[in-house]
Amino acid sequence: MTSLKQVGLVLVALMAATSTGCKTKPKNITPIPGGNSSVAGSGSLLGRDSSGTVNGGGDVVTVDQSGNIGLSGLDEFENMLMDRDALAAQTVYFEVDRPEIHPDDLGKVEAVAGSWLRTHKKGLIEGHCDERGTEEYNRAWGERRALSVRDALSGLGK
């Protein structure tokens, strides 16, 4: 009887050991600029080099002098210096899984429309997400949020 208990105990231990899986590495995680590359991946987003200059790729939205909004290649922004500090205070934050601009952030959009777009011919609107979710999922949410800001600027006549 003792050997039967021992065999049963060994079988239970083996089943427990084999039923627990190894940790799998997450797939398609979006890299975070300046983040820990061992956790979030490496590389830059939106084709930007380390100096902040856009270096080609994807599609972007442009606003011409008459206020018309158009889609153009990112190559039009090539060698254009990105002054992120100038608009850092006007960053629009979104709720989780929501593309709508929060009413508290509409003032930020109006500030950009009133000052920055009046003096510039082109503007690059970027949408970002956190590191959770797949790369495709985050890219889609970033695009929806950027389009939401674009539409708000367009509604203000900019």
Structural contact between residues 49 and 74, judged by C-beta atoms closer than 8 angstroms:
no
pLDDT at 48: 40
Closest CA to 75 of 50, 52, 61, 58: 58
- The segment with the largest mean pLDDT, out of 15-19, 61-65, 141-145, is 141-145
DSSP codes joined into one string, 98-139: --SPPGGGHHHHHHIIIIIHHH-S---------S-S-HHHHH
48 vs 66, residue with greater confidence: 66
Establish how many alpha carbons lie within 13 A of residue 8's alpha carbon, considering only the half-sphere containing its beta carbon. 5
Which 8-state DSSP code applies to residue 35? S
Q: What does R_g of the chain's alpha carbons equal in angstroms?
A: 24
Report pLDDT for 67: 58
Mean pLDDT in residue range 6-34: 73
* pLDDT surpasses 50 at 52: no
Q: What is the average per-residue pLDDT within 72-98?
A: 74
Average pLDDT over residues 119-123: 69
